[in-house]
Structure 1
């Protein structure tokens, strides 16, 4: 990785004053018919003085190279004068916002899903950004897509297919975002780029299985709800039998207990209202 070298060139205001003085002298020589001196002063002014003046705006940098050799980077904003023969490359230090496109990939258990991420990044090492990769903007786009694909292949969409999974794409959003940010920083370090934030912006099953998976999720939710209802109903029946026995309200034999348990479970576990029936006889007639 290229090492960034920060330089602080002299102020450009004194050089600007010198440029104006030389310009006035050039005009003076031209007026008083001293063409040789006018040409020399003009060459000095427009070849050595003026091309060295640079303006660096806030959150920008200028990367300087001299005959193919890296000279340094000017990161301080202001008006400066540098070697006029250096090539000057402007680099923005502002934060970039990458809204990744939706990718169709398979999760850890093979289900096709759609996933996209939003990534906030900025350049930290200008030398690496310019010299280590051909085009750092394209590099960020391609590596970000690769990282998101790898993340989607690593974890299942949810726990329906893999009940033992500790992290899922849908349920572990915070953990997934941390892992994505870490992987992106590792991938983009070569280009001198730091990822400030990475979040999953879109996550869904692919259209061809979305309806089927929705039905499966609904069935799973119904089964879980029924399991909870049955557990609660059994507890309530047990409590009712214990209370009747403790307070000696009525003495129930095994057949009466079985009938009571059956009736209570029907009432408590049914998914619609129950119409009571008044028994005027006995259980045995």
Structure 2
């Protein structure tokens, strides 16, 4: 990113960078690619932070990258088939969910299983692909997936804890099958490196199957019949279904791994394990009923 975006500025001494120069660089990219501009600003800010901490910049140096355009770089949303469709937060309809579940086996098994877990657990993609057999346990006849705090988005919060996810239905089937195959190792191992597959790989595979994807157009492959969605939209869809089923917000947010806000989050240390079992079971049953609409 630095090699391709800094241009002539790359050859300047750090102390020569002014606020105006920093602003002009980021603003130039923000006009054409806001997301990439935000990443560049973030990485430059981190580089300056490190240099200042290490004493490689004067005491009076200012990290302009942390100060310019704060909160002012906005994504223009997705562009599909040359048309900007804006910032889309997609929630699949119930018919679309049933149709998609029936279609999922057209993906490679590893992608099918990840997408199934998005729907059946509502967890984050990074948490799913990083799942290991050591995180799976059984207690009182219930199989649990315990996501270590360090692997969650709440790792930086002192009061955060490990996230317990009760498994049901097709989500349970996926996990038990993969644990039988891979034991205590990563349940979604990569074929190309040591470790697990990346979340972005799943996103790329979903886009590759969209009817509007122009990636390797000469290759014939099944195209999705439920379109214009990304894996993260399945997490949003599960949360919406939970709300429709009557799940209390506090439980629904805990299922997603969100920390409860304000005073509630500060004083309420209840983990809602019993409630999660109830509502994820209800979600599983509802997903099954939607899938049956499209069974052949």
Fold match, TM over 0.5? no
Q: TM-score, normalised by structure 1?
A: 0.20
Larger relative contact order (Cα-Cα within 8 Å, sequence gap ≥ 6): 2
Larger radius of gyration: 1
Q: Which has the higher helix share?
A: 2
Q: TM-score, normalised by structure 2?
A: 0.20
